[in-house]
Structure 1
Amino acid sequence: MTSIVLVHPEIPGNTGAVGRTCVALDLELILIHPLGFDLSDKRVKRSGLDYWQHIRLAEFASWEAFLEARVPRGDQMFLFEEYAKSSFYEPDYPPDAYLVFGRETKGLPAAIVEAHEAQLVALPMRSDKVRSLNLANTVAAAAYQALRGHLS
């Protein structure tokens, strides 16, 4: 099963919208603490609408706790950063991929990026007028690309 991993998300509405995408595509949502909000925040549930109860949710106290518990293979992990040299169109995503996204304002922590440089991918943007995309939109685009060929 493909999983969406949000590392230190800050905006409850984005996490709720990502959760809705996860339900729609039958993906697991993994949240890496600390979060910039409380999961009981009504804004999370409002964005996730009445789908929030159907989310397959896993939480980890830290990135290290996630790595220790899940032990992801290198070919399973795809870390999304706007400055990555590889396009997210390039990889062949396995059905058990982990699609990893950082917080809205700062992206992934430098230590995580440095440890996984070979697994960095970016969504290409044709205009230089946009610095980055909304997290929920990026997750949706990445999830559909990763599942291409696995969806029926």
Structure 2
Amino acid sequence: MRLILFQPDQPGNFGAAIRLCACFGLSLEVVLPCGFPLTAKAARRAAMDYGHTGDIIRHANLNAAMKSLGGARLILLTTQGAQDINSFEFCANDALIFGRESEGAPDLLHGAADARVRIPMSGGARSLNLVNSASITLFEALRQTGGLPVEALRQTASLPG
């Protein structure tokens, strides 16, 4: 499973995404340019003690990211998705991509995606924070594909309902 941020523009969300990926044992991929300096120092500061900044994979542009997929599906998370994440069938090697916080997913991403999925929300709700969306989607995708860390499976097995 891969998590890709398309031209992120909020450094706080970037740091939270680093921590999210570290907790699930994934690398964070970023399609450049970012809306903030992505220097090694800035990445270390954003990661705090949650992840090694070597786990950040930088792609010069969307074409470079697409070439790196190696046959994996590119799954775009968007409020305009055709299917809910709970009814979409994820594959273990899917690449989940999220648009910019300030602008969402441009037409370029919509056109490149193999599938467009959404998180179901209450009527009238516009959207979730980027990393909240990534967390929900990544958990569901890993749950479906058996990719959750063993500790997480033990914890969810004891949840009610």
SS of the residue corresponding to residue 83 of structure 2 reads coil
Assess, with a 3 A threshold, how the Cα gap between structure 1 residues 54 and 46 changes in structure 2: closer, same or farther.
closer
For normalisation by structure 1, the TM-score amounts to 0.86
**DSSP-derived class of the 1:64 partner:** helix
CA 1:41/1:133 → structure 2, altered by over 3 Å: closer, same or farther? Answer: farther
2:121 corresponds to which of 95, 115, 125: 125
1:43 Cα offset (Å)? 7.0
How big is the alpha-carbon RMSD for the aligned residues of Structure 1 and Structure 2? 2.0
CA shift digits 1:91-114 (9 cap, x unpaired): 222221111100001112212202
C-alpha distance in 1, partners of 2:138/2:63? 24
Q: What is residue 17 of structure 2 aligned with on the other side? A: 18
Counterpart code for 1:109: P
1:79–1:119: 8 Å Cα contact kept in structure 2? yes
SS of 2:76 mapped into structure 1: strand
Q: Secondary structure at the match of 2:84?
A: coil
* More off after superposition, 96-105 vs 42-51: 42-51
User: Which consecutive residues of structure 1, in runs of 5 or more, have no partner in the other structure?
Assistant: none
d(CA) in 1 for partners of 2:107 and 2:127?
18
- Other-structure match for 1:58: 57
Aligned to 2:47: 48
Does the CA contact (< 8 Å) of 1:23 and 1:54 recur in 2?
A: no
Confirm or deny: 8 A CA contact 1:30 1:57 kept in the other structure. yes
| Alpha carbons 1:16, 1:52 under 8 Å: kept | no
Match of 2:111 in 1: 114
TM-score, length basis structure 2 = 0.81
Gaps of 5+ in 2: 151-161
2:96 to 91, 95, 99: 99
Residues of 1 paired with 2:12 and 2:44: CA distance?
8
Instruction: Give me the whole-angstrom Cα distance separating, in 1, the residues matched to 2:70 and 2:130.
Output: 25
How far apart are the structure 2 equivalents of 1:47 and 1:137?
A: 17
Q: Distance in 2 between matches of 1:78 and 1:69?
A: 14
